[in-house]
Amino acid sequence: MGKTLLDKVWEEHTVRTLPDGRTQLLIGTHLIHEVTSPQAFGMVRDLGLKVLYPNRTFATVDHIVPTDQRAEPFSDPLADAMVKELRKNCAESGVTFFDLPSGNQGIVHIVGPEQGITQPGTTIACGDSHTSTHGAFGAIAFGIGTSQVRDVLATQTMAIGKPKVRRINVDGKLAPGVYSKDVILHIIRHLGVNGGIGYAYEFAGSTFDAFTQEERMTVCNMSIEGGARVGYVNPDETTFEYLRGRPYSPKGAEWDAAVARWKAVASDKDAVYDDIVNFKAEAILPTITWGITPGQAIFIDEAIPNPDDLPEKDRATAHEAIEHMKLTAGTPAIGIKIDVAFLGSCTNGRLSDLQEVAKHIRGRKVASHVKAIVVPGSQGVASVAEKMGLAEIFREAGFEWRGAGCSMCLGMNPDKLVGDQLCASSSNRNFKGRQGSPTGRTMLMSPIMVAAAALTGEVSDARKVFAIH
């Protein structure tokens, strides 16, 4: 009987079975940031323990760093204290820190891959739910809480039950103007925001085979929005090519040995799955969310649904969503006025996202009533984008070009919605208050759809705005 990638990685990283039946699982790579780590370092100290393998933990700052005024001290003393705390903890414990002055700082889920730290067949944990992003490389990557950050710092392991595996096949060719973001929003719309509880999602099929590494990251990133703590794609030549030559990628003879291991870790052809779900790429259209969960999604040519027309289990949340979003059931999505456009985040803040948008907006202007910001996912992305002239294209179009960080994805830094502003956002969560204003409203969509909304000032079909066919 064949094994899945998850089976193989789990087996290799199992230290032992704990008395409660969970696995003591070795975490090969630990990523930390300023928000969920300070308490963990404190707990490690309080227990009289120390960081066991400091060379297997990597740190950066992303959540609270301002994206405009980046000189320290930050105007927010709490944010400033958190960065200093991480700096101190890393220095004391010997953890590598991709700090602000390093030129390598950025969103932790963008920094790991671009440094070549994220590798196939590894286990990765980070105190952030979007750690599932790293699964795009065929890693098993978990978002964890602070007590588990402590566990990984002190023991390089954590206690966890083995998930089931659901294979999600997407086959076929996406239509022009349809992107990986639409694919994952479509999957969550159909499998639900809690459909993945207890599962790891294995994304496969010809659509995924054709995806670039960055497109795969966008999908794996949002696994958690579908309830799946882990999402992964089997590693292939696309993965290996992405990793070749990166700072932490194996070199020389070690590279060849690593590639051989990485090929072997992919799911066997006859692997057995707990569940299999199939989607057709051709059936997916540009997708946006209209509500307060990532599963409340519609195609761009649909109208805001009437909650009473939805399945009974979805109605209460739909009513709550209509109230919060101040929308009227039956209104076409196209034409809903927006106030803010946010292009960035660990979902869509990579170079290819910025390139795709820049290609289409050249010579166009952001609508006068819209505040539009572009936040590169890392200093590395920013630096390349600037050299390529992308920053200039965005600025000329009326976007603000910012420094790297989580920015307006989560309202922990100065980039926040104000009042009930409606934001067309390339991020991952449309929860009430997520973007920093309790009454703020978020519509999730692909970067190109964010750009279309920014230019027209309203939710628009990017295929029409940019004549993509």
Q: Is residue 19 a contact point for other proteins (CB under 8 A)? A: yes
Burial (Cβ within 10 Å: 0-12, 13-18, ≥19) of residue 98: buried
Task: Single out the residue of 258, 36, 23, 53 nearest to residue 138, CA to CA.
Answer: 258
In the complex with other proteins, the residue whose CB is nearer, 431 or 464, is: 431
Least Å distance between CB 39 and other proteins?
A: 6
Stretch that binds other proteins, among 22-30, 303-311, 328-336, 344-352 (CB under 8 A): 22-30
Q: List Cβ neighbours of 421 (8 Å cut-off, separation of 6 or more).
A: 339, 340, 437, 440, 441
Least Å distance between CB 9 and other proteins?
A: 10
Which residue among 210, 272, 316, 418 contacts other proteins (CB under 8 A)?
A: 316
In order of 76, 208, 250, 306, 445, the CA distances from 185 in angstroms are 35, 15, 34, 20, 8
Q: Is residue 18 a contact point for other proteins (CB under 8 A)? A: yes
* Cα 76 off chain centre by: 26
Q: Which of residues 72-91 bind other proteins (CB under 8 A)?
A: 76, 78-79, 81-82, 85
- Distance between CA atoms of residues 201 and 141, nearest Å: 11
Least Å distance between CB 429 and other proteins?
A: 6
In the complex with other proteins, the residue whose CB is nearer, 117 or 351, is: 117
Q: Is residue 190 a contact point for other proteins (CB under 8 A)? A: no
CB 336 within 8 A of CB 435: no
- Distance between CA atoms of residues 374 and 12, nearest Å: 41
Q: Which of residues 247-286 bind other proteins (CB under 8 A)?
A: 254, 257-258, 261
CB 170 within 8 A of CB 202: no
Angle, nearest 10°, between helix axes 379-387 and 390-397? 80
Burial (Cβ within 10 Å: 0-12, 13-18, ≥19) of residue 248: middle
Per-residue contact string for residues 44-63; x = within reach of other proteins by CB under 8 A: ---x-x--xx--x------x
In the complex with other proteins, the residue whose CB is nearer, 410 or 462, is: 410
Stretch that binds other proteins, among 117-125, 205-213, 273-281, 377-385 (CB under 8 A): 117-125
Least Å distance between CB 205 and other proteins?
A: 25
Q: Is residue 7 a contact point for other proteins (CB under 8 A)? A: no
Residue type, position 133, single letter: T
Count of residues touching other proteins (by CB under 8 A): 85
Q: Is residue 376 a contact point for other proteins (CB under 8 A)? A: no
Q: Is residue 313 a contact point for other proteins (CB under 8 A)? A: yes
Helix, strand and coil in the chain, % to nearest 5 = 40, 20, 40
In the complex with other proteins, the residue whose CB is nearer, 84 or 364, is: 84
Which residue among 1, 21, 176, 311 contacts other proteins (CB under 8 A)?
A: 21
Q: List Cβ neighbours of 233 (8 Å cut-off, separation of 6 or more).
A: 135, 136, 137, 138, 202, 203, 204, 208, 211, 216, 219, 220, 239
- Distance between CA atoms of residues 93 and 116, nearest Å: 22
Least Å distance between CB 352 and other proteins?
A: 26
Q: Which of residues 337-356 bind other proteins (CB under 8 A)?
A: none
In the complex with other proteins, the residue whose CB is nearer, 56 or 216, is: 56
Task: Single out the residue of 225, 449, 188 nearest to residue 346, CA to CA.
Answer: 225
Q: Which of residues 220-239 bind other proteins (CB under 8 A)?
A: 224-225, 227, 229
Which residue among 3, 14, 310, 362 contacts other proteins (CB under 8 A)?
A: 14
Q: Is residue 411 a contact point for other proteins (CB under 8 A)? A: yes
Task: Single out the residue of 426, 390, 25 nearest to residue 200, CA to CA.
Answer: 25
Which residue among 67, 148, 347, 421 contacts other proteins (CB under 8 A)?
A: 148
Pairing of strands 23-26, 96-98: unpaired
